[in-house]
Amino acid sequence: MIDQRRNGADPEVQSTEVIRPLMRLLRPLWVVITVCIVTICIFAMANLARPIVIQRAIDDGIIGQDGSAIVWASVWFFALGIVIYIVQAISTYSVTWVGQQFLRDLRMRLFTHYQKLSLSFFDKENSGRLVSRMTADMNAMSDVLNNGFLMVVQSVFLLVGTIIVLFFLSWQLSLISLVILPPLIVATIIFRNYSERAYDAVRDRIADVMIHMQENFAGMRVVQAFARERHNTEHFDRINELNYEANLRTVRISSMYIPFIEWLGTAGVAIILYFGAGGVFGVEVSVGTIAAFIFYLNFIFQPIQQLSQVYDLLLGGFAALKKVLGLLEIEPDVKEPVTPVVPKQPVQGQIDLDEVSFGYSKDVRVLDDINVHINPGQRIVLVGPTGAGKSTLAKLMMRFYDPGLGSVMLDGLDLRQLSFKDLRRSVIMVPQEGFLFSGTIRENIMFGRPDATEDDMIDACRALGVHDVIAALPEGYETPVSYRGSRLSAGEKQVVSISRAFLANPPVLILDEATSSMDPGTEAVVEAAIRKVTEGRTSIVIAHRLSTAEHAQRILVVNDGRIVEDGPHDALVHAGGYYTSLYDRWIEHDSAAG
């Protein structure tokens, strides 16, 4: 069961459902895990044998005045020390190795899973929170695996083994000593319940800090342009204060629990001395047995103390693991077919929308009963007011979303029948903002076709007419591109983005035109590239300026989620319909601007 949290999708699995997915992730590492368990068992048994050696040295050697018993006790104690050293070295390395392998695989699984999730997930989720899952939560788990996990497992083995050995030494004294267990168990349960909630809150507050920082850095130009530094600082101060209070709450809980455990350990030693050495209730034990009992009692409280000291790490790591596993449990809304149909080659590029209706939520429809047939090689322009549904139509053709009703088809095949590989090879979209990745311009152009050669790339850019634009940059095709291409102008980014699509050479190309904010010279270059890239292939252009529509073979006019007009530019202008009013307003605005 996945728990959906506030602020969009912040899912996590329930505490009781962590074990099964965790075991699936650890299954490939079972050989080394077995080595870990065996060496930890040997470590626990060697430690448990040491008080017995001390008991024999006291009872047989010192009180029984047997010198050889003391010698043999020394030999055994030294041998046990060597065994403990060897197995602890092996267990420490193997546990750390398993932990780092686990984190490496989990990080890859999460990153791969992110890329499989549908756009509807990213529409609701904040990127800062997703980054927090990959960074802060992974670091929390790494702290557990590097500093706490081995201590926890060793402590549990020692604790269980100690209780067994104590009953063999003196069941009467063991039963008397158990009087400390009820308050210990009650205190631990209370501590666990309060701490788990507190550390869940800490993970959420850390994610909030990451979200604010990521948004603030991404929008720094807007912040500085409107002089909102002080406002943002005050807002971050409130978020940081909540993070501080959440962490302080965990400290308050630990500060009450850990001293109580220390006090219980002292009380346990007093009980053993009183009942064992005093012979109360007829409990008669040797001096060596009392000494062994005190050592073993330390083996009970030392693990519990160690567990309490790393409990904050454990809870932090556990809370982080629940959130990461919760993300891995999310299924994409748009799924690849189990047995995909392979389209006939070459793909012609025929697009059909048959009675398509769609809404981003169940209550509101964005598109309603769309029926469109687009012939192979046809150049279509979508026009209409903001919010009419133009971009949504393009997203359905890309199968970023599936229609609620009806079907979208490529060459007569429903897109839901095609593999993502075949679909993405056939239909490519150039977004309104040319998104670029960190690297070089060459790497960004070849992103859509990594098997292309250098000559293929340059020939494609020459054919587009953008080679001179790119070559004029400081380092040409090797010009570095920073995050989102921030070092390049809007026109330069769009040139790279169009070149990337042209090199991939898809049968169907969708362009969300982005020339309105460019200077006339750059706009002319980009428009020429767009005309070139749409030649000889099915193209759907989302037009924000009607100058683009004037040269289209066919215009689809979208309004209020419907196709209200369909035809060439001249026919629609003279029809006196909705397109005529759009065109008249654009002419009037363009004349006023000139």
What CATH code is carried by the domain that includes residue 191?
1.20.1560.10
Residues 221, 276 within the same domain: yes
Mind spelling out the 3-state secondary structure of 108-146? HHHHHHHHHCCHHHHHHCCHHHHHHHHCHHHHHHHHHHH
Residues 515, 568 within the same domain: yes
Boundary of a domain, candidates 328, 360, 383: 328
Residue 342 resides in a domain: no
Strands 405-410 and 413-414: antiparallel
What is the tens place of the pLDDT at every residue in 5-49?
444 445 666 656 677 777 888 888 888 888 888 988 898 888 888
Residues 276, 358 within the same domain: no
In the chain, the number of structural domains is 2
pTM for the model stands at: 0.70
Residues 305, 371 within the same domain: no
Residue 223 resides in a domain: yes
Residues 149, 298 within the same domain: yes
Contact yes or no for 142/97 (Cβ under 8 A): no
Residues 443, 558 within the same domain: yes
Residue 345 resides in a domain: no
Contact yes or no for 409/373 (Cβ under 8 A): no
Residue 334 resides in a domain: no
- Residue 450 phi, psi (nearest 5): -65, -20
Residue 213 resides in a domain: yes
Residues 361, 309 within the same domain: no
What is the tens place of the pLDDT at every residue in 325-354?
888 888 888 899 989 999 998 999 999 999
Tell me the pLDDT of the chain (594 aa) as tens digits.
444 444 444 566 665 667 777 788 888 888 888 888 898 889 888 888 888 888 788 878 788 777 788 888 888 888 988 998 999 899 888 888 888 888 888 888 888 888 888 888 887 877 777 877 888 788 878 877 776 777 777 777 887 887 788 777 777 777 777 777 778 778 777 777 777 777 777 777 877 877 777 777 666 666 665 667 787 788 888 888 888 888 888 777 777 777 777 777 777 777 776 666 555 445 566 777 777 777 777 777 677 667 666 766 777 788 788 888 888 888 888 899 989 999 998 999 999 999 999 998 888 889 999 999 999 999 999 998 888 889 899 999 999 999 999 999 999 999 999 999 899 889 998 887 777 888 888 988 988 888 889 999 999 888 888 888 888 888 889 988 876 666 777 778 888 888 888 888 899 999 886 555 555 666 677 777 777 888 889 999 888 777 778 778 899 999 999 999 999 988 998 888 888 888 888 777 665 555
Residues 44, 160 within the same domain: yes
Alpha-carbon distance of 325 to 332, in angstroms, equals 15
Residue 52 resides in a domain: yes
Boundary of a domain, candidates 296, 328, 360: 328
Residues 290, 359 within the same domain: no
Contact yes or no for 492/515 (Cβ under 8 A): no
Residues 157, 54 within the same domain: yes
Strand ranges across the sheet with 367-374: 367-374, 351-358, 405-410, 413-414
- Across-strand partners of 414? 409
Give the CATH number for residue 581. Answer: 3.40.50.300
Structure tokens at 292: 């062994």
Residues 382, 505 within the same domain: yes
Residues 256, 378 within the same domain: no
Residue 333 resides in a domain: no
Q: Which residues contact 457 (CB under 8 A, 6 or more apart)?
A: 442, 445, 446, 477, 499, 503
Helix (DSSP H) and strand (DSSP E) numbers for the chain: 23, 14
Domain range for 91: 2-328
Boundary of a domain, candidates 281, 296, 328: 328
Residue 132 resides in a domain: yes
Task: Name the DSSP class of 15.
Answer: G
Report the pLDDT value the prediction gives residue 281, as an integer from 0 to 100.
Answer: 45
